[in-house]
Amino acid sequence: MPMKTPSQTLAEKIIERLIREGLLTAEAAKTMLPKLTEGKLRAEDWRLPIELAVEMEPKS
């Protein structure tokens, strides 16, 4: 098994935190992780998935 690059490790930690904070769904994370690792995510790539996750979050 190849070792993870620092970019992969950082991208995974960022995605995990966004999921834990309710800012990203696990489904969206699967598609975003490779682009984040490669440094190819743009603001447009983040906007809709985060908006949808926030809308799905239970209201207190």
Q: How many domains is the chain built from?
A: 1
Note down pLDDT in tens along the chain; length 60 residues: 678 999 999 999 999 999 999 999 999 999 999 999 999 999 999 898 988 888 887 765
Q: Say how far apart CA 54 and CA 11 lie, in whole Å.
A: 20
Q: Say how far apart CA 22 and CA 13 lie, in whole Å.
A: 14
Whole-structure pTM value: 0.80
> Does residue 1 lie in a domain region?
no
> Does residue 10 lie in a domain region?
yes
Domain range for 49: 6-56
Q: Say how far apart CA 44 and CA 10 lie, in whole Å.
A: 20
> Does residue 50 lie in a domain region?
yes
> Does residue 21 lie in a domain region?
yes
